[in-house]
Chains A and B, each alone.
Chain A
Amino acid sequence: MMVIRPVARDDKQALLKLATKTGVGFTSLPNNESRLVERIERMIATWDGEAPIHDQGYLFVLEDSETQQVVGISGVEVAIGLTEPWYDFRVGTLVHASKELDVYTQMPTLFLSNDHTGYSELCTLFLDPDFRKDKNGHLLSKSRMLFMSTFEDKFADKLIAEMRGVSDQNGNSPFWESLGRHFFSIDFSEADYLTGIGQKAFIAELMPKHPMYVDFLTDEAKAVIAEVHESTLPARRILESEGMRYEGYIDIFDAGPTLEAYTKDLRIVRENELRKVVVSNDYEETESTLLIGNQSYKNYRAIIGCQPCNETEITLSPQQAETLCVGEGDFIRVAPLFAKERREELAQ
């Protein structure tokens, strides 16, 4: 059974191994041991209630409960941009018009912004390619939202997720080549690595502070604004089906879109409900997959299952109950794993 749980110190080796599979453009899980240890410690301090707000973050791992193999990782930062500036480009519009000359032009323009300061951020989603099946990706991504809903007051009202932008196999980003490259002479992959190890603000200091007209970029660069890397498409779809939207903000290096939402508007947050646990082996699986999470802050667990569920109760197998660290009569949070449209699609 696949289960989500908080990251632990023992996960270090497994995560370093995962990091080697991510490739360029995945900045938040760099293949750098000391950074990783630091990250894990910061997460543990958060769970222990010892981290200040600007350091708080949660990291979950996806584990196969039988083999104890860690195959995926997903995270949430509580409040971004409180120690160093958080940068985005806002893709805005400037209109240049003259009645006298009968000219009217709309110019898409990039504005460097810190608009997302203090927002929570979904980050660090990575699933071992061998395990990209059986709805694991959905479990990995959406269990964070169930956690946020369960411990609502620990997070900001608004949430973003930065999506990896377009780059080729050699790690070249057309947007970077057209823009960032001019402002300093390092490769995108290096900028990307520096970002991952927390040097993004340093790099951003070198970026253009004045608004920039999109028309001055190359066609290749224009074409990738707010587009995601093809390997990130599934992640984007998942977040969009949960109510997150591109609202005109992009990454300053690769132009990947930033998706945003009010936390309370996320589908999982709106649709999850409390159910009382009934432990039994005597049930038949239903057609609808449920995301199921316990209510323990420090021993958080989440799984998926096609459990029978009525207005008040949900039936779990003994193994499921054990995995979730709950017993008969405990309350757990339950939400349909898929949005309604998607459920209908699957039913057909």
Chain B
Amino acid sequence: MIILRPVRLTDLNNIERLAIESGPMVCTLPAKREHLLRKIEQSVNSFDEDVFSPGEESYFFVLEDTTSGQIMGTGAINALAGYREAFYSFRNDILIHSSRELNIHSRIHALTLNHDLSDHSQLCSFYVDPNLYTTRFPALITLGRLLFMNAFANRFANEWMAVLPGIADANGRAPFWEHVGRKFFGMNYNQVEYYNGTRNKSFVAELMPHYPLYVPLINEEAQAVIGQVHQDAELQYQLLNDQGFEPDKYVEIFDSGPILTAPHNALALCLNMKTGSVVGKTLHADTKQYLIGFQAAKGFCAFIADGIQTEDQLIITKELMEEAGLRQRQPVWFLAL
């Protein structure tokens, strides 16, 4: 079976392979071994710690095929997007230019550099084996993390967000970068994404424009991609959007990809999540798909299974229950999909 579980130090080689496959688009998963090792260590420590309010913790999950031991995908959460250093984004502002005398009232779209999102919890480092795109497992990575966040809400902020990759072609040319960032940085998009994943963020404050950028003045090719998601991330976008994440307010500073934000308590998952106990027995017809999360010896795990819900019990097949490492009547968090 395929299960979402916390990363372990022994996953390093596997993750390094995934990071190379994912390319520069997932800047929060840079293919740099030392950096990945630090990320894994930080995650292990974060899961171990007793946390009463969000801080520097980062939780890193992997998607594992338990039969082969293969790692098929990754997904992480930063408890705070900007704990040690500010998290920068462009905010979509509407500036009103109005003159009663001339009977003109224009609304000018502007992008303003800000670090409003620093105190949001951030979903990041999402990557899934391309062979799994059409399966339910990308949903497992994303919704599984949200289930964890909801079950341990005191570890996270009240506002959550996710940065999705914007438009770039196969050669790593991002139109928004070409017409905006390049003017300030004088380097290629891939390179800046690499710096962004590996360096101290103070370079953003040093190099990015501090005044609002008037969107009508930006080259039209770049204007056209503001807030547009890369096609590889459309699925992820859809999953988050369905849960109630909204893309309207912020975009990423380098490729202007959408940043989805949501207040925690407005998410569908938070409204519909149930707590109860699991029961394993033989199942007949009328099953539904459920996302199930539980506390295992190795930490919070999640998987998707067919089941039947009765009051505060979730019934799944005994085989699956045992394969997941669950005991009869063990407490679980679950959500009908």
Q: Which A positions have Cβ atoms within 8 angstroms of B? A: 96-98, 100-101, 103, 105, 107, 109, 178-179, 182-185, 194, 199, 202-203, 205-213, 215-217
List residues of B (72-121) whose CB comes within 8 Å of A's CBs.
Answer: 95, 97-99, 101-102, 104, 106, 108, 110
Tell me whether A207 and B97 are in contact (CB under 8 A): yes
Q: Which of A103, A109, A183, A205 lies in contact with B187, CB distance below 8 A?
A: A103
**Residue from B106, B195, B212 within 8 A of A183 (CB atoms):** B106
Asked if B188 is at the interface of the complex by the 8 Å CB criterion, the answer is no
- Which residues 192-243 of B sit at the A interface, judged by CB distance below 8 A? 195, 199-200, 202-203, 206-209, 211-214, 216-219
A192 to B45, CA, bound (A): 66
Smallest CB–CB gap between B61 and chain A, Å? 31
Q: Which residues of B contact A183 (CB under 8 A)?
A: 97, 106, 108, 216
CB <8 Å contact, A199 and B101: yes
Q: Give which listed residue, B98, B183, B203, contacts A101 with CB less than 8 A.
A: B203
A202 with B211, Cβ < 8 A, contacts A96-B184, A98-B206 known = no
Q: A207: nearest residue on chain B (CB-CB)?
A: B97
Is B183's CB under 8 angstroms from A213's CB?
Answer: yes
Interface of A is mostly: mixed
> Chain A nearest CB: distance from B212 CB in Å?
5
A101–B207 touching, CB < 8 Å = yes
Whether B99 lies near A216 (C-beta < 8 A) is no
Q: How far is the CB of B114 from chain A (nearest CB, A)?
A: 14
Judge whether A211 and B213 touch: CB under 8 Å.
Answer: no
- Chain B, interface size: which category? 20 to 34
Cβ A96 vs Cβ B101 within 8 A = no
CB proximity of B50 to chain A, nearest CB, Å? 35
Residues of B with C-beta under 8 A to A210? 110, 211-212, 214
The 6 closest A-B pairs by CB, nearest first: A182-B216, A98-B206, A98-B203, A216-B217, A206-B97, A202-B101
The answer on a CB contact under 8 Å between A182 and B203 is no
Assuming A208-B108, A208-B214, A210-B211, is B99 touching A100 (CB within 8 A)? Answer: no
User: Contact: A205 with B97, CB < 8 Å?
Assistant: yes
Q: Is the CB of B97 within 8 A of A103?
A: no
Within 8 Å CB of B214, what residues of A? 182, 208, 210, 212, 216
Q: Give the residues in chain B near A209, CB-CB below 8 Å.
A: 95
Are the C-beta atoms of A213 and B209 separated by less than 8 Å?
yes
**Interface contact A105-B108, CB-CB below 8 Å:** no
Q: List 11 A-B contacts (CB under 8 A).
A: A100-B202, A103-B187, A105-B186, A182-B214, A183-B97, A184-B99, A194-B102, A202-B99, A205-B98, A207-B97, A210-B211
B250 nearest CB across to chain A (Å): 19
Q: Is B185 an interface residue (CB 8 A)?
A: yes
Query: What is the CA–CA distance of A9 and B184 in the complex, to the nearest angstrom?
Result: 57
